[in-house]
């Protein structure tokens, strides 16, 4: 498989704050409750947090007024291997594909459980495993699947209903990459497991990063949530359970105007989440109920 090179994690986290003035970023840290999301556009968020600044910032963000229609979905109603829409990524790559990841991707770590979920599992390797990573014998295995070459879309609503694992050194994500040309990446949701209630979403270009985060009332591992982005020619808006929490406005020559494909994975360790410790529980499971995309 071709190696995927993403901007260094430390630079990504450092630069998105500085990009606020040019990317139109709004960030909130308001606690949210659950919200049932159907195929219709949800209502704008009503903040339940007590911090006035966070409530005021969130009030500035609205979802695009688009009547969305389903364009593609995977409900994961099978058993065993993921559907043919997804291709597993294998290996660890040079320097953990630029993030110093500690895991090795295996096809068997992504499977349909026969109960309506795609399950991606990160686990410790067995003593008999002979898998080599950039740092020596791989200490962990995990899974990653993507739709590259099979499904991609420019603009729309992209959503996943999932229960995400938490724990130090655990980094689950649903994200998208541009098919070719200038680098572009939209992280619909990605979490650093040591902050179990924090939802985050970002967009990455060669020199600009935008997005933000929001803190929920309970750990993300406590139940399913719907995480999504509404991506239009004018902006990207991040939301959870139908409530927007961050946005990035379009700028001249931004790369978010071409088809992107979908990715689901769990990273173990690396420069952003840090290494697991004795408090990290394995196996760590990302349970995905469905992935759905929409067009306006």
224 versus 180: the higher-pLDDT residue is 224
Residue ranges of alpha helices (H) inside 60-180 are: none
β-bridge mates for residue 211, sequence order:
202
Kindly state the average pLDDT of the residues 192-221.
95
Catalytic residue (one of 43, 53, 179, 190):
190
pLDDT, tens only, 68-101: 999 999 999 999 999 999 999 999 987 778 789 9
Task: Report the 10 Å Cβ neighbour count for 203.
Answer: 30
* pLDDT band at residue 57 under the 50/70/90 scheme: low
β strands within 152-271, DSSP E: 156-163, 170-178, 185-190, 198-204, 209-215, 225-231, 235-240, 243-249, 260-268
Between CA 282 and CA 208 the distance in angstroms is 35
pLDDT, tens only, 237-263: 999 999 999 999 999 999 999 999 999
Query: In the annotation, is 190 catalytic?
Result: yes
β-bridge mates for residue 178, sequence order:
260
pLDDT at residue 163, as a whole number: 98
* pLDDT band at residue 51 under the 50/70/90 scheme: low
β-bridge mates for residue 225, sequence order:
162
Is 10's pLDDT higher than 90?
no
Q: Which domains does the chain have, with CATH numbers?
A: 23-295 (2.60.120.200)
Joined tokens for residue 52: 């006035």
Query: In the annotation, is 40 catalytic?
Result: no
H or E stretch covering 217? none
Contact between residue 295 and residue 153 where contact means Cβ atoms under 8 Å apart: yes
Joined tokens for residue 104: 């090795």
pLDDT at residue 98, as a whole number: 74
């Amino acid at each position: 498989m071709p190696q995927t090179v993403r901007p260094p994690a430390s630079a990504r986290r450092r630069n998105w704050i500085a990009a606020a003035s040019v990317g139109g970023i709004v960030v909130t840290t308001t606690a949210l409750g659950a919200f049932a999301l159907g195929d219709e556009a949800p209502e704008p968020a009503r903040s339940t947090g007590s911090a006035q600044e966070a409530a005021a910032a969130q009030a500035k963000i609205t979802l695009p007024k688009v009547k969305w229609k389903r364009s593609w979905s995977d409900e994961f109603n099978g058993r065993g291997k993921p559907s043919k829409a997804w291709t597993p990524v294998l290996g660890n790559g040079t320097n953990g594909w630029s993030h110093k990841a500690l895991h090795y991707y295996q096809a068997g770590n992504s499977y349909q459980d026969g109960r309506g979920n795609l399950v991606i599992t990160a686990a410790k390797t067995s003593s008999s495993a002979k898998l080599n990573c950039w740092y020596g014998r791989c200490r962990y295995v995990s899974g990653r699947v993507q739709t590259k070459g099979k499904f991609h879309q420019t603009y729309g609503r992209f959503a996943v209903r999932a229960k995400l694992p938490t724990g130090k050194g655990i980094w689950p994500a649903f994200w998208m990459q541009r098919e070719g040309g200038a680098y572009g990446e939209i992280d619909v949701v990605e979490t650093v497991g040591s902050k179990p209630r924090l939802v985050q979403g970002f967009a990455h270009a060669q020199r600009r990063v935008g997005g933000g985060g929001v803190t929920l009332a309970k750990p993300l591992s406590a139940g399913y949530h719907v995480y999504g982005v509404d991506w239009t020619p004018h902006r990207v808006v991040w939301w959870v359970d139908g409530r927007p929490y961050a946005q990035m406005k379009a700028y001249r020559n931004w790369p978010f105007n071409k088809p992107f494909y979908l990715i689901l994975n769990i990273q173990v360790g690396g420069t952003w989440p840090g290494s697991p410790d004795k408090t990290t529980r394995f196996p760590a499971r990302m349970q995905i109920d469905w992935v759905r995309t929409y067009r306006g």
